[in-house]
Amino acid sequence: MSFPKDFLWGSATSSYQIEGAWQEDGKGPNIWDVFSHTPGKVLNGDTGDVAIDHYHRYRDDVSLMADLGLQAYRFSFSWARIIPDGTGAIEKRGLDFYDRLIDALLEKNIHPMATLYHWDLPAVLQDKGGWTHRDSASWFADYSAVVHDAFSDRVKMWATLNEPWVSAFLGHGIGIHAPGIKDPVAAFAAAHHLLLGHGKAVQAMRAQSSDSQLGIVLNLAPVYLEGDAPDDHPAHTSVALHDAILNGLWTEPLLRSHYPDLLLQLGDVVTGNIKDGDLGIISEPIDWMGINYYQDIRFVPSDVTPSADPMNPPGTDLPGTVGVEPAPAIGNVTSFGWSTTPDGLRALLVTLDGEYDNLPPIFITENGCAYDYPVEDGVVNDTLRVTYMHEHLTALLEAIKEGVDVRGYMHWSLFDNFEWAEGYRQRFGMVHVDFDTQVRTPKQSALFYARVIADNGLPSA
Ligand code: IFM
């Protein structure tokens, strides 16, 4: 049950979810500040104003990471903390915070693994159209160059974007995330500009240093149709579209320099954004790919009207939503209602490896689950999270044994934190956080994970 030598073990967070200090040291507002302050957008009116106050407690948090034996820490930079207006003037106090954080990590021999964008676009840029504006790609590349220039002496692993599918489709397609737009045209425009921004950022950072390991983080998953549907039922096309939007929309342009044919068949909504040369920029070679995996995506066929066309859904619905509904959750269903399907991780990795000759080395950059367990006598006995970790790490090991080049695993998340539209209700942390007192208590899963790291392997079940 051992992992390869030099396998990198760590944990992940993101700026808006943990930092707080939303108006401190010159930070500008970002789209999540705006969204969470808009009544009705986030459960219980929760915001990231304070979050888990990592901005002030980072030093203790890094000590806790060291106590657990973490070898790497995946965090993201807050764009609006560094460039409050999104473009132009740099806020030195923002850079200084990350400077202190990175030094604190290195003092404890923890590799900083940086993400440049984890969904917190400066609000000023949203006012100009955000990711639906073609210039967003250049705004992002310029910002990336500023941050990379400041820290590439000490940070070697860089991801451009975290889960661009979420930014594009939850932020612009169904609108449950910032900036809260529900419009398929905006969603596909955002998707293309995010990809273009990634490619331009890679080019800009590569020009600054050939030493940096540059990558992107995608949330990918196998997509299945379960149950019986006649051959002419739209569920088949819908599931293929869902798969193309979740997976192929990202892997195909990045690794094959083209969009999936099925998506091109949607016409102008997709093709209208693509200009000559874009795909060459998007497919700029990368050194690694991050994969965030939580669960398989499973649908069952639903009743449809005879005229229902999955390629042209009614109103502002997204392609791929006609004639299907989510299948009931399976496994140790999480507090979020998500399934646990560990073999999906193995299947995903083996499929990608078979599909792409040029698949770069993989890091699992997120994997985790939300369960709520109380602190009792200083102990949080989160048995289902331990089970989740054990099952997913077993599946990962199987994929590695089947030949997939996986170099590391970052558990999501280190701390309980702000879970976007769900506010503080969903607790993904290995470390419990009392959101009133900010007291941190490592859960049993953290202690289990510390053992896995120390042994570079799993205890037998
Ligand atoms: O909390 C998020 C994270 O920001 C991105 N990936 C999924 C996690 C759980 O929903």
Ligand 1 atom 9: the closest Cα is on which residue?
A: 419
Q: Which of 391, 150, 360 is nearest to 294 (CA)?
A: 391
Residues across the chain: 461
pLDDT at 42: 98
Please answer whether residues 120 and 81 qualify as being in contact, where contact means their C-beta atoms are separated by less than 8 angstroms. no
Q: 282 alpha carbon to ligand 1 midpoint, in Å? A: 24
Ligand 1 in reach of 412 Cβ (< 6 A): yes
Considering only CA atoms, which of 354, 414, 360 is closest in space to residue 385?
Answer: 414
Using a 6 Å cutoff on CB, does residue 416 contact ligand 1? no
pLDDT tens, 20-56?
Answer: 999 999 999 999 999 999 999 999 999 999 999 999 9
What does the pLDDT look like over 385-436, one tens digit per residue?
Answer: 999 999 999 999 999 999 999 999 999 999 999 999 999 999 999 999 999 9
pLDDT of residue 338: 98
The model's confidence at residue 5, banded by pLDDT at 50, 70 and 90, is: very high
Pocket test of ligand 1: the residue of 420, 422, 424, 433 to mutate, having most ligand atoms within 8 Å of its CB, is 420
Instruction: Supply 202's token pair.
Output: 């890679």
pTM: 0.98
Q: What is the pLDDT of residues 109-137, one digit of tens each?
A: 999 999 999 999 999 999 999 999 999 99
Class of the CATH-defined domain 8-455: alpha beta
SS3 at position 213: strand
Q: Which of 19, 91, 163, 252 is catalytic?
A: 163
Q: 64 φ, ψ to 5°?
A: -65, -40
Q: Are the C-beta atoms of 113 and 76 separated by less than 8 Å?
A: no
| Cβ atoms of 313 and 321 closer than 8 Å | yes
Measure the CA dihedral 181/82/414/365, to 10°. Answer: 70
Q: State the pLDDT at residue 205.
A: 98
Query: What pLDDT is stored for residue 399 in this prediction?
Result: 98
Report whether residue 115 contacts ligand 1, using a CB cutoff of 6 Å. no
- For residue 210, pLDDT over 90 is answered with no
Q: What is the pLDDT of residue 148?
A: 98
- The answer, yes or no, to whether any atom of ligand 1 lies below 6 A from the CB of 296, is no
Average pLDDT over residues 309-336: 94
Q: Residues 281-305: what's their mean pLDDT?
A: 96
Q: Could you identify the atom of ligand 1 that is nearest to the CA of residue 118?
A: 4
What percent of the chain has a predicted confidence (pLDDT) above 90? 96
Q: State the average pLDDT for the chain.
A: 97
Residue matched to tokens 């790609």? 137
State yes or no: is 163 an active-site residue: yes
- The protein residue with its alpha carbon nearest to ligand 1, atom 10, reads 419
* Strands in 220-287 per DSSP E: 223-225
Percent of the chain with pLDDT over 70: 100
Cα 452 from Cα 19, distance rounded (Å): 28
Q: Is the CB of 292 under 6 A from ligand 1?
A: yes
Q: How far is the CA of 393 from the centre of ligand 1 (A)?
A: 19
Contact between 121 and 139 under an 8 Å Cβ cutoff? The reply is no
Q: d(Cα 23, Cα 29) in Å, to the nearest integer?
A: 7
Q: Which tens digits make up the pLDDT trace of 226-255?
A: 999 999 999 999 999 999 999 999 999 999
Q: Is residue 419 in contact with ligand 1, taking CB distance under 6 Å? A: yes
Residue 307 pLDDT greater than 90, yes or no: no
- What's the CA gap between 305 and 247, in Å, rounded? 28
pLDDT in tens, 74-85: 999 999 999 999
Question: What does the pLDDT average to over 135-164?
Answer: 98
Q: What is the mean pLDDT of residues 322-348?
A: 98
**What is the atom index within ligand 1 of the atom nearest the CA of 417?**
1
- Ligand 1: which of 119, 366, 411 to mutate, most ligand atoms within 8 Å of CB? 366
Residues 350 and 441: beta-carbon distance below 8 Å: no
Does residue 461 have a pLDDT over 70? no
Residue 458 C-alpha to ligand 1 middle, in angstroms?
25
C-alpha dist (Å) from residue 396 to 79, 325, 413, 434, 453: 33, 29, 18, 32, 15
| Catalytic option among 252, 366, 391, 419 | 366
Q: Ligand 1: which residue has its CA nearest to atom 4? A: 14
Q: From the CA of 265, how far away is ligand 1's center (Å)?
A: 31
Q: Is 278 in the pocket of ligand 1 (CB under 6 A)?
A: no
How does pLDDT run across 171-194, given as a tens digit for each residue? 999 999 999 999 999 999 999 999
